[in-house]
Amino acid sequence: MAECPGGESKLLVSKIREGTVIDHIPAGRALAVLKLLNPPRGARVALVMNAESRKLGRKDIVKVEGVTLTPEQTAAVALIAPKATINIIKNYDVVEKRRATPPRTVKGILRCTNPTCITRKPGEPVKPKFKLVKEEPVTLQCIYCGTIITQEEIVEQLSGQT
């Protein structure tokens, strides 16, 4: 692969042939993004942490071979990396660039932090649902009890998933 002069330092890990590259992840959140994607056993994965970025200062990058994100995964990535670019790679080329935009409402993937919320009652068929009240940093609000979920809490909850 031809690199422009001085470009070698950018290529810390090799380009991938088929799959997804999630770029412009805030530094420190690569592992949280990887957990979300939950790639199949045996999938080739590369993490770049604390790479230089003009836009972010430092950034993380996650490359997963042979994996295409579902819309749910794209939305979840947006919640922990609102400025991320999702690059779909086919035959070494970037064939699609998606911006990870946080969804206006979030259903199912997070739980309300208020233990007395109706969505936390055992056996209660009320699914958690949040509305986006702020994009930067991502801030959500439970539509049932009004509890605010901060960016840190979102990252913490999504990092804990297996």
Q: How far apart are CA 91 and CA 61, in angstroms?
A: 19
Yes or no: say if 145 and 112 are a contact pair by the CB < 8 Å rule: yes
Does position 87 bind ligand CTP by CB under 6 A? yes
Q: Provide the 8-state DSSP code for 136.
A: T
Residues in contact with Zn ion, shown as a per-residue x/- string from 115 to 144 under the rule CB under 5 A = --x------------------------x-x
94 binds ligand CTP (CB under 6 A): yes
CB 30 within 8 A of CB 47: yes
Residue (46 or 144) nearer to Zn ion, CB: 144
Residue 148 contact, options ligand CTP, Zn ion, none, Cβ 5-8 Å cut-off depending on partner type: none
Q: Position of tokens 């970025």?
A: 53
The owner of tokens 């290529």 is: 11
Site for ligand CTP in 55-74 (CB under 6 A): 61, 63
Query: What is the amino acid identity at position 140?
Result: L
| Residues engaged in binding Zn ion (CB under 5 A) | 112, 114, 117, 142, 144-145, 147
